[in-house]
Amino acid sequence: MFTKILIANRGEIACRIIKTARRMGIKTVAVYSDADARALHVEMADEAVNIGPAPASESYLVIEKIIMACEQTGAEAVHPGYGFLSERPAFAKTLNEAGIIFIGPNVHAIEAMGDKIASKQTAMAADVSTVPGHMGIIASVDEAVRIAEGMGYPVMIKASAGGGGKGMRVAYNAVECREGFALAKAEALSAFGDDRIFVEKFISNPRHIEIQVLGDKHGNVIYLGERECSIQRRNQKVIEEAPSPLLNDATRALMGAQAVALAKAVNYDSAGTVEFVADQDQRFYFLEMNTRLQVEHPVTELITGVDLVEQMIRVAFGEKLQLRQEDVTFKGWAIECRIYAEDPTRGFLPSTGRLVKYRPPTEDLSVRSDTGVCEGGEISIWYDPIVAKLCTHAATRSAAITAMSSALDSFVVRGIRHNISFLSAIMQNPRWQAGDLSTSFIGEEFPQGFAGVALTPESTLMMADVAVYVDHIENIRKRKITGQLNGRTVMFDRKRHVRVGTEWVEREVTDALDAKAQTAIWRAGEPMVTMGEITVQVEPITNGYHLSWRGTAVDVHVFTPREAELARLMPEKMIADTSKTLRCPMPGLVVSLAVVENQSVKAGDTLAVIEAMKMQNVLRAERDVTIRTINAKAGDSLGVDAVIMEFV
């Protein structure tokens, strides 16, 4: 077995690979950019090598620097993780030429499957069901529109070297096709260094289902069941689960057989994923094959008990698979939620900053948290916004959902915006709970975006009780610290007036200290309070607390009767008028400006394109305006709320 391997990646996947290597007795080498000098994967590895500046194009994507790091440390093999160089044939080929083992499939398989066009042609030859589409490289936007109109909208515009939702756009008309073509090419070039584009028919109301395959260098290939990844936003997966609530045993076996046939057609010899799009009647079509470890691989590991990273390492070393197809069994249900650094209440815009507080839920037999950050770490603009992958495993799907809801409630992230409340809301969604899914789920269930889960009468009272309980405990603590009343816990009045959001309720202190408080757990300064079977996150604010639970986030103020009387007289704070400016919604790089000064634009017209965390975001006019001044130019790095342009 290898004695030392290098991980050509960063973040949570690097940390996850290190854990398995450590268990196998293999030493690890981390590589890092200047921006990642204090990253968790650097701390966890046995050795670490700096490979350059923050931009991935100058560090993580530079093959020569990875080779030099291997030579410097004596690493015998390289695990590429996912993204970056993981599906670059040139990377695997260069490693082989340097006498370094690539922990992944052979170069031929990467070339055949990594190119989306070539992979479809191979799939057709292997009798795998495929989506109708134009399998040639499209040279211009006019050609893309002509092909799309001949095929019939909607269409999917895809980068041939794409993946992870980058370089992909759905177009429903010629205008969207033109814009999507340009954006897909730009994203693909930035993320993969390859801007080739093709177009295929978009299947309406589809489900995204993928088969995990595993092959060795001795001709053995098996499949480890399926994962459903239909909960997506901008073609990027948000929630995954295994198995799929759609498939029956017959369809699962058929998809598995086709995935294995495709893998054998290219002599596949590592862990890989064959992705399918399926309709609600279980008809399925091949999309692509990812010749690498998937982000969502933990759910497969949880239901099969197979460590995929270990299997990749053993296969790369030349060992035969010890598993046969008949040995593969499935136990229970697993769900993965991707914790992203983004603000779901502002159109899921990326969020950057320091993790002032970071406490994932406690891991046990039912909860797994794969993360690449720690408290005090920084989320930068340079890389993917994924913070962690939270997984739960239980006997049934409903039990796994319940476990996930509880785990999300206790996942504390402060200092950046994140999507935990949004994920919690999905866990409570009746359609999700029923397994009625499609890739358009988020758009259909949250057509106006996400503004948090509305309070119900029951949750209003629950939030009030939590706030009153916390307020009472804090008052006791303050009296003990100051010595007031000789330390006696006496309240001058029992009633408290509580404003939950905009609702006023009256609670007696004893209400919150009776049955509910008997099982309540909270220490002053802690970010969570447990009351009965619920866990609520709590942050202090003036005269109260910011409480969040199951997708609901609300400010709760606790007053004495006299304080409440005066609070009702206070004027509401006026919201600043920003209608005459276009402000940068997130820290990012100005890719392009689509307007000039004194130009008149219509509502919906593109004003600028901002790139952050490897995704390009189009900023559009919200109403008809005339551009008065432009304060930024292409190439500028902007902070949040920086004024890009002003309107008349």
Q: Judge contact between 469 and 520, C-beta under 8 A.
A: yes
Q: Which residues contact 480 (CB under 8 A, 6 or more apart)?
A: 487
Instruction: DSSP letter for 521, please.
Output: B
Which of 320, 322, 295 has its CA nearest to residue 306? 322
Cα(65)–Cα(59) distance, integer angstroms: 7
Cβ atoms of 554 and 345 within 8 Å: the answer is no
How many angstroms separate the CA atoms of 274 and 81, rounded?
17
Token pair in block for residue 478: 């303050």
Given the residues 111, 288, 296, 301, the one annotated as active site? 288
Q: Which residues have a Cβ under 8 Å from the Cβ of 533 and sit 6 or more positions away? A: none
Other residues' Cβ atoms within 10 Å of the Cβ of residue 213: 22
**How far, CA to CA in Å, does 317 sit from each of 16, 79, 103, 191, 311?**
19, 12, 8, 30, 10
Q: Are 549 and 459 a contacting pair, CB within 8 Å?
A: yes
User: In sequence order, which residues have a C-beta less than 8 Å from that of residue 213 and are 6 or more positions away?
Assistant: 221, 222, 223, 224, 259, 260, 263, 268, 271, 272, 273, 274
For residue 324, give the amino acid letter. R
Token match 């939270």: residue? 390
Burial track 338-353 (b if 16+ CB lie within 10 A, e otherwise): bbbbbbbbeebbbbbe
**Nearest to 220, CA basis, from 273, 269, 272:** 269
User: Strands 4-7 and 77-79: what pairing?
Assistant: parallel
Which residue carries 């509502």 as its tokens? 603
> Is 288 designated active site?
yes
CA dist 387 and 143 (Å) reads 39
Q: How far is CA 434 from the centre of its chain?
A: 23
Contacts of 579 (CB under 8 A, 6+ apart): 622, 623, 647
Amino acid at position 206, single letter: P
DSSP, residue by residue, 59-83: TTT-HHHHHHHHHHHT--EEE--SS
Residues carrying an active site annotation: 288
